[in-house]
């Protein structure tokens, strides 16, 4: 089942990557990043079956960082929305060539 969990986590990570690349809505891109974080969490939990409980503690820290990242990222999205009246990333091209 450890190998199955690793395969599932690889699937979820690839789907998350695809979502980040292919969507235009900034909030959904953000959700896909959360999906990638969860896939990595699953890998840590699976490997903690082989290497002891340290992997689970690492997942705890990853969740904390994800919570902080969600708060700050959503605040950034809100302030961008105030400025441009949209969350479509095609409109944010100030730093793009």
Partner 1 sequence: MTTVLFYVFAAIAVGGAFGVVMSRSPVGSLLSMVGTLFSLAATFVLLEAHFLAAIQVIVYAGAIMVLFLFVIMLLNLGHDYQKDLKGGVFALVSFGTAGLMAGFLRYQLRGVGLAEGGAGGAAIDAAMAEHGVVGAIAEPLYTTYVVPFEMTGILLLVAIVGALVLAKKNVA
Instruction: Check if the beta carbon of residue 55 is closer than 8 Å to that of residue 48.
Output: yes
From the CB of 94, what's the least distance to partner 1, in Å? Answer: 17
Q: Is 84 in the site for partner 1 (CB under 8 A)?
A: no
Grouping H, G, I as helix, E, B as strand and the rest as coil, residue 24 is coil
Taking the C-alpha atoms of 28, 35, 13 and 92 in order, what is their torsion angle to the nearest 10 degrees?
Answer: 30
**What would you report as the CA-atom Rg of the chain, rounded to the nearest whole angstrom?**
16
Q: Exposed, middle or buried, 71 (CB in 10 Å: 0-12/13-18/19+)?
A: exposed
Q: Within 1-60, which residues bind partner 1 (CB under 8 A)?
A: 1-8, 10-19, 21-25, 27-28, 30-32, 34-35, 38, 41-42, 45-57, 59-60
Q: Which is nearer to partner 1, 50 or 95 (CB)?
A: 50
From the CB of 30, what's the least distance to partner 1, in Å? Answer: 8
By the criterion CB under 8 A, which residues form the site for partner 1? 1-8, 10-19, 21-25, 27-28, 30-32, 34-35, 38, 41-42, 45-57, 59-61, 63-72, 74-79, 81-82, 87-88
């Amino acid at each position: 089942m450890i190998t199955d969990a690793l395969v599932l986590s690889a699937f979820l990570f690839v789907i998350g990557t695809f979502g980040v690349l292919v969507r235009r809505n900034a909030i959904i891109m953000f959700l896909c990043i959360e999906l990638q974080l969860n896939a990595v969490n699953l890998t840590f939990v699976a490997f903690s079956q082989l290497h002891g409980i340290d992997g689970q503690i690492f997942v705890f820290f990853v969740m904390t960082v994800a919570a902080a990242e969600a708060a700050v990222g959503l605040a950034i999205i809100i302030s961008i929305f105030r400025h441009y009246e949209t969350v479509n990333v095609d409109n944010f091209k100030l730093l793009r060539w």
